[in-house]
Structure 1
Amino acid sequence: MFLQRSAIAVARRAAVAPALRRSLATTAVRRDAVPDASKIKGIHEVKTSADLLGPGTPAGQVPSDVEQSTGLERLEILGKMEGVDVFDMRPLDASRRGTVSNPIPVRSAGVEQFAGCTGYPADSHNVIWLTMTRERPLERCPECGSVYKMEYVGPQDDHHGHDHHHGFEEPKSFADLVKPEYY
């Protein structure tokens, strides 16, 4: 009885094992595949959003990120290929406490920017997210008192950033009742 059970188990393993070995052994990996550099534009050649479409790959090939990415992702990849940090992902200056006369600068290309304050000295409190806008560029952390200032680096004639023509009004809060000189 014991021999019958072990013989059946060995037969099952033998039937399954060659299929597993064969399927893993036939997997091919192309390590020498390099995208054609003549099809790929550099970050300095990007002028319009149409330039942020990848060239794609021929049928039957697996595309790389450089070949298939589009939009902002493609802009970031092209920047990294040339050593440019497109989105300025460096951490904010945490070596000092920002004051109203000398705030910690936060660069932004949009109409508003979020910044996470971890306190001074660094990591002295949990992250508190602060929102700065073009109309109200200074923001003070309620926990440690550090002041941050948004420096707008986007296009100056951007008419899409104004919320007034859409009828949007920022919600009223206690922060709106604080005098601007106390910011």
Structure 2
Amino acid sequence: MFMQRAALTAARRLAVAPVARRAFTISLIRREALPTTQAPKIKMLTDVKTADDLLGPGAAPGTVPTDLEQSTGIERLEILGKMEDVDIFDMRPLDASRRGTVEDPIMVRSAGDEQFAGCTGFPVDSHSVIWVGLSKERPVDRCSECGNVYKMNYVGPQDDGHGHHHHHGYEEPKTFADFVKPEYW
């Protein structure tokens, strides 16, 4: 019985082995037959002038594209920035070496209409993260736990091109920002 199993196993291996060898040799021949094309020149961050410069070249036929080749738009801008060691989105942590006050708030840079800052207190990690919402209309707000004051520094485009304010149709609830003296804005 042992000999029957051994003979059957050997026969199965012989029947499968030539098929596998042939498939690999054919795929190697086909791979070598592919035309080699020059990869298009990748634009660097300094070459980006318009939104059209943020379109990736795509992959060569028969290859799998990399993130750099297939990315577009803001994702491509971030990848190009990382290649040149530029932090496009300024992801550094906020200044936690001091307590933000109304006279000297902790500045939060924003390129959008609103920005959220995570406060962990002063001294650092003295409470759980509390998210403080800042906007162009309400650039100053205070953490409800520790009292740290944050102020949004808008660094985005000055005109959105629409010529009007966005109206949500409802009045937002009052926050600390509504009671700050105008000279501190």
Bin for the TM-score computed over the shorter chain: 0.7 to 0.9
Deviation, 1:128, is: 0.6
| Alignment partner of 1:180 is 2:150 | no
* Same amino acid, percent of matched pairs: 59
* Structure 2 equivalent of residue 58 of structure 1: 60
* Structure 1 equivalent of residue 33 of structure 2: none
Gaps of at least 5 residues in structure 1 are 29-34
CA distance in 1 between counterparts of 2:121 and 2:179 reads 24
User: What SS does structure 1 have at the residue aligned with 2:116?
Assistant: strand
User: What SS does structure 2 have at the residue aligned with 1:73?
Assistant: helix
* Structure 2 equivalent of residue 68 of structure 1: 70
CA distance in 1 between counterparts of 2:140 and 2:177 reads 15
4+ aligned runs moved over 3 Å, structure 1: 159-164, 169-172
CA distance in 2 between counterparts of 1:78 and 1:53 reads 12
Of the two, which has the highest radius of gyration?
A: 2
Deviation, 1:42, is: 1.3
CA distance in 2 between counterparts of 1:129 and 1:161 reads 31
The answer to whether the Cα contact below 8 Å between 2:119 and 2:130 also exists between their aligned partners in 1 is: yes
The answer to whether the Cα contact below 8 Å between 1:120 and 1:144 also exists between their aligned partners in 2 is: yes
Paired residues for 1:81-120 under 5 Å: 81-120=83-122
Gaps of at least 5 residues in structure 2 are 29-37
- TM-score (normalised: structure 2): 0.74
| Alignment partner of 1:130 is 2:132 | yes
- TM-score (normalised: structure 1): 0.74
* Structure 1 equivalent of residue 32 of structure 2: none
Letter in 2 for 1:116: G
CA distance in 2 between counterparts of 1:155 and 1:76 reads 18
* Structure 1 equivalent of residue 160 of structure 2: 158
CA distance in 2 between counterparts of 1:174 and 1:149 reads 16
Deviation, 1:160, is: 5.0
User: What SS does structure 2 have at the residue aligned with 1:44?
Assistant: helix
